[in-house]
Amino acid sequence: MNLILLFRDDFVDGGTRVRLGGRRLRHIREVHGAAPGDTLSVGLEGDRIGAGRVTHLDAELLEMDVELVLRPPEPLPLTLVLALPRPKVLRRVLPAVSAMGIKRLFLINAYRVEKSFWQSPVLSRESVNAQLILGLEQARDTILPEVFFRDRFKPFVEDELPALSRNTLAVVAHPTAQQECPRNAGGPVTLAIGPEGGFIPYEIEEFVSAGFSAVTLGERILSVETAVPFLVSRLF
């Protein structure tokens, strides 16, 4: 937790005083080992970052006076379209997504997405937000990504994706593609990544019809968890 993410509800007098309990309090006590008088990095969700001076700290409650003066890091101009991964992989991908500054994520169906994945509690708004917040705290950002679920492939790719990806470099990662993934795109990107086992040929054709280029990282097939940061880093 390189930044303590605060929410409007944490403020006690509508001004600069914050009261925290629960997970953040425990982390500040146990990992940061903070004491009254210490200054911590803080940020307000959707807003600025700054410093909080601890005025009170015990096992139940922390109070801070906060000053929020700096803008959070720049967002990444990337829309990520990800075939819904298995729940335990999704849990790990979400903090990476928010830490890298991605602000728009579509989790979509595909032929090789197991139906049961759509029933996982990991897809609940609460669980998704908790994982995204971990990434923001890691990267010292305050802007939560928007996450959209699309459980039907064809209507999403045919009706929604062309407008979403307009005026962006639109690429779909596909191990057997001929074209190498571009480096350092220098502008907005829409990146699609398939499920374990990849998109099927029909799905790749649908992406191509929507204006996407199929690109490869070479001979090695990476897991979704590794491919996401690897591709994002390559493209920016």
Q: Which of 23, 92, 152, 166 binds a second copy (CB under 8 A)?
A: 92
Which neighbouring-strand residues pair with 65? 17, 53
Q: Residue 127 or residue 138: which is nearer to a second copy going by CB? A: 138
**E strand map for 99-225:** 102-108, 146-150, 169-173, 179-180, 189-193, 213-216
Query: Does 179 help bind a second copy (rule: CB under 8 A)?
Result: no
Q: Which of 122, 139, 171, 189 binds a second copy (CB under 8 A)?
A: 139
Minimum distance, C-beta of residue 19 to a second copy, in the bound complex (Å)? 26
Q: How far is the CA of 167 from the CAs of 68, 78, 163, 211, in angstroms? A: 35, 12, 9, 10
Q: Which of 73, 155, 186, 201 binds a second copy (CB under 8 A)?
A: 73
Do residues 180 and 173 make contact, with C-beta atoms less than 8 angstroms apart?
A: no
Query: Does 174 help bind a second copy (rule: CB under 8 A)?
Result: no
Q: How many residues does the chain have?
A: 236
Select the span of 8-16, 115-123, 164-172, 215-223 touching a second copy (CB under 8 A).
Answer: 215-223
Query: Does 28 help bind a second copy (rule: CB under 8 A)?
Result: no
Query: Does 186 help bind a second copy (rule: CB under 8 A)?
Result: no
Query: Does 113 help bind a second copy (rule: CB under 8 A)?
Result: no
Q: Residue 167 or residue 184: which is nearer to a second copy going by CB? A: 184
Q: How far apart are CA 78 and CA 106, in angstroms?
A: 11
| Residue the block writes with tokens 């969700």 | 45
Query: Does 105 help bind a second copy (rule: CB under 8 A)?
Result: no
Query: Does 4 help bind a second copy (rule: CB under 8 A)?
Result: no
Please give the angle made by the CA atoms of 156, 158 and 160, to the nearest 5 degrees: 50
> SS3 letters for 90-106?
HHHHHHHHHHCCEEEEE
Which residues in this chain contact a second copy in the complex, by CB under 8 A?
Answer: 2, 73-74, 92, 95-96, 99-101, 138-141, 183-184, 218-223, 225-227, 229-234
